[in-house]
Amino acid sequence: MKKMSKKIPKFKNEDEEREFWASHSPLDFFDSRTARKASFTRLKPSVKSISIRLPEDMLGELKILAHKKDIPYQSLAKMFLAKQIELERKRQA
């Protein structure tokens, strides 16, 4: 663990702070001993449209399952993918 060697100065205004950070690295002020994992619960993940080819019978089954759950089939497909990704991550850990 790296010990923080410098303290961030107090700035009079944004211009002074901007000038300071233009010539200093934030890593020189980072103390890994006090770092915490951030949680941004209100952020919505960005989404990207993709195209995927599925066998017709698989798509049909997905639509039937989604209809039974009263959700769009694309949402069900995302749920299935998310669950499988989580399982794979746990296996690799």
Instruction: Give domain limits for the chain.
Output: 14-33+49-92
Q: E strands, 1-93, where? A: none
- Place 1 in a pLDDT band, splitting at 50, 70 and 90: very low
User: 72 versus 46: which is more confidently predicted?
Assistant: 72
Contacts of 77 (CB under 8 A, 6+ apart): 62
The pair of three-digit structure tokens given for residue 26, joined into one six-digit string: 């934030």
Give residue 39's pLDDT band: very low, low, confident or very high (50, 70, 90): confident
Give the mean pLDDT of 25-45.
85
What predicted TM-score, i.e. pTM, was given to this entire model? 0.52
Give helix 73-92 / helix 56-69 axis angle, nearest 10°: 100
| Residue 21 amino acid letter | W
Alpha-carbon 83 to chain mean position: 16
Tell me, what's the pLDDT at 87?
96
